[in-house]
Chains A and B, each alone.
Chain A
Amino acid sequence: MSGRRLLTLHGVLVLLFLYLPIAVIVVLSFNASKYGVQWHGFTLKWYAALLGHARIHGYVTNSLIIATSSTLIATVLGTLLALGIHRYRFFGRGGLLFLLYVPVVIPDIVMGVSLLLFFAWAQNYLRALHLGLGTVIVAHVTFQIAYVTLVVKSRLAGLDPSLEEAAADLGATSWRRFWKVTFPLVWPGIAAAALLAFTLSLDDFVITFFTAGPGSTTLPIYIYSSVKRGVTPEVHAVSTLMILVTTMALLGVQRASNRR
């Protein structure tokens, strides 16, 4: 076999490996059998069951509240940070960059337990930050900021500085310069960063696991506890819907970042 064909064969096998688990879940979500993996015919009843499953609706609502609020906060803070880091050289810039990279690279369990400890400490000594939706949102913002800043920063780095200089030469104030020149050019980067942050929040399990309290169960937490207790077919249906939503968000990110 030639090298080229070997490479293609390897590629196809890797793709099969990547998609086997996803295919298993999607197929099972349409399987009429409640137990086991034997195919008992096509059904949509697990999806129908989801509609009447009030507890799952609560988890979806929690996931969406957390993802929306944390994304809004992280996008604003991260975009501002990216602007400052891109434009200015100041004391502590290197330290700030380090602080930005740390949440991205340390194992998420370390971040999860340190936030848990921090919230417990604040609860003990300040009587604030009781575990719940609020603490999960704060935790999510903390890891989202890094991603937003880095995406927007790379977009800013790709900008032609002469455009801003031209606006300055024409007498635009720095505020006007930002809104009329920089912002429209960076906007696709901000949108891509926000979608990325949103998806990261929706998908997060580990950090939510440590910072959630009673009443702030999200979909991934629910899936985890179902796996531990024994999965019902509704979980396959929920998972398939989540795969669908992620796919759409991903296509959105691609379109937003391809627009120039």
Chain B
Amino acid sequence: MNRPSWRRLLATVAPGAFWLVVFSLLPTLLILYASFLQRGPHGWLSGPLTLVNYARFFGISSSGFDPLYLNILGRSFLLGIVTTVAVVLLGYPFAFFIARSRHKNLLLLLVVLPFWTNFLIRVYAWIVIFQRRGVLNALLTYLHLPTLHLYPSWTAVYVGTIYTYLPFLILPLYASVEKVDWTLLEAAYDLGAGRVRGFWHAIFPQTLPGLVAGVLLVFIPALGTFVISDLLGAGKAILIGNVIQQQFGGSRDWAFGSAAAFVLMALVLLGLWLYARRAGESGMGELL
């Protein structure tokens, strides 16, 4: 890497950097600014600067503590955590299944395909499966089992979220599993380790970079989802994403919506900052 002349630097980096500053950095700063304003007379924002939106979000008011939005945030975290655990349970062995298979490329393609199939179509498909006269109940009736009412429900939201983000874990995890040095496991056996201890000390640490990247790629979007809860919960499953969407849509309180969006972004960036401090530039690269 060398010291560039200004001309070359301007020709390569400047247009893209300008774009990102105007359309990424500036809007983010606007969200932060708007979160300290209030709804004006015509639905637009107006001053003076205030903390009421954050006070409302954290439930602090003159009439006491009301954890409405904190509960919703907690529900989003719960969804994020349960989804991440479920996806790891499903995806971790699957990454090994791909790595040890003779048809690696085919299996990888089979994982990537649903990942690239339009997200709305996949979410909608779960409605078709779970609805009262849907695929699942047709199967249950055929088997002479009692039918289930899973649409709309939190169960449907959880299944939809787990389904949507499963490939996000498998792909980065597979990249780590593929590079595993199996001779370490043999060495562990030679040193007298059992199967569990051998795996835990010789194999698991090698898969950690992919696992951590995958967990972040599942947890962050699951935390912010509004489409899955909107469609599979039919408006009854409210997450932080739904709060933001409602404030920028029907309720039209952009100031409060901005505060909610900023809280979500701050939490995500805090987590990423902690991750980046450990993993560095190459580690951030694993996320993509």
Contact = CB atoms under 8 A, between A and B. Distances in A.
B150 interface: no
A11 interface: yes
A239 B121 contact: yes
A116 B96 CA distance: 42
Given A22-B125, A118-B23, A239-B118, A145 B163 contact: no
Interface in A202-251: 203, 205-206, 210, 219-220, 223-224, 227-228, 231, 235, 239, 242-243, 246-247, 249-250
Given A105-B287, A110-B264, A84 B13 contact: yes
Contact of B15 (A77, A210, A235): A77
Interface residues of A, number: 86
B245 A114 contact: no
A249 B112 CA distance: 12
Contacts of A85: 13
Nearest to A83: B12
B162 to A, nearest CB: 9
A67 interface: no
A50 interface: no
Q: When A and B form their complex, which 7 residue pairs have the shortest distance between CB atoms, in order from nearest?
A: A107-B224, A84-B12, A21-B125, A84-B13, A81-B16, A11-B97, A114-B27
Interface of A: 7-8, 10-11, 14-15, 17-22, 24-25, 28, 36-38, 76-78, 80-81, 83-85, 87-90, 92, 96-97, 99-111, 113-118, 120-121, 124, 138-139, 141-142, 145, 147, 149-150, 154, 174, 199, 203, 205-206, 210, 219-220, 223-224, 227-228, 231, 235, 239, 242-243, 246-247, 249-250, 254
Interface of B: 1-4, 8-9, 11-13, 15-17, 19-21, 23-28, 30-31, 34, 44, 90-91, 93-94, 96-98, 100-101, 107, 109-114, 116-129, 133-135, 138, 163, 166-167, 216, 220-221, 223-227, 231, 241, 244-245, 248, 254, 257-258, 261, 264-265, 268-269, 272, 281, 284-285, 287-288
12 contacts: A7-B93, A21-B122, A84-B4, A88-B8, A111-B27, A114-B28, A117-B248, A117-B258, A121-B30, A142-B20, A147-B288, A243-B117
